[in-house]
Structure 1
Amino acid sequence: MLHSSFQDRYKDVSYKITFYNHQGGWTTELHIEGLPRIRDSDHFWTSKEDAHEAARKVAEDMIDG
């Protein structure tokens, strides 16, 4: 299982998305500063870009409250 990660800030809150490759698709794990990690293994994206956009949106929605 290959993985990589992306780190960014939104509204001065740091978050990190870790991507896991599973035989042609991607799952993610999201870590938002001050919150427990969220492993999203229920969703499976065929492209890393789609996985990134979905996880980024979840991070921003959670930070917005």
Structure 2
Amino acid sequence: MQEVADTLLNIEQAIRRATRGERHAQKLKQEGAASALQLAAADLEAIRQRLFQAAFFSEDQNKLF
């Protein structure tokens, strides 16, 4: 489980970095980069949620059924 926690931390850091980069790109009027970073942050958030749920709730779900 430590590897899952470490991976989640890395993904969360990547989301924060992408969000900061998006804001910076917007200030520089680099709309293409800002849009790409926004999409990357959204994709990473979906991946983070999927990993979290699969790692911590999948076993509990199987026990319920």
Q: State TM-score, norm by structure 2.
A: 0.33
Task: Flag the structure with higher helix content.
Answer: 2
- Structure with the larger RCO, 1 or 2 (CA within 8 Å, 6+ apart): 2
Q: Which has the larger radius of gyration?
A: 2
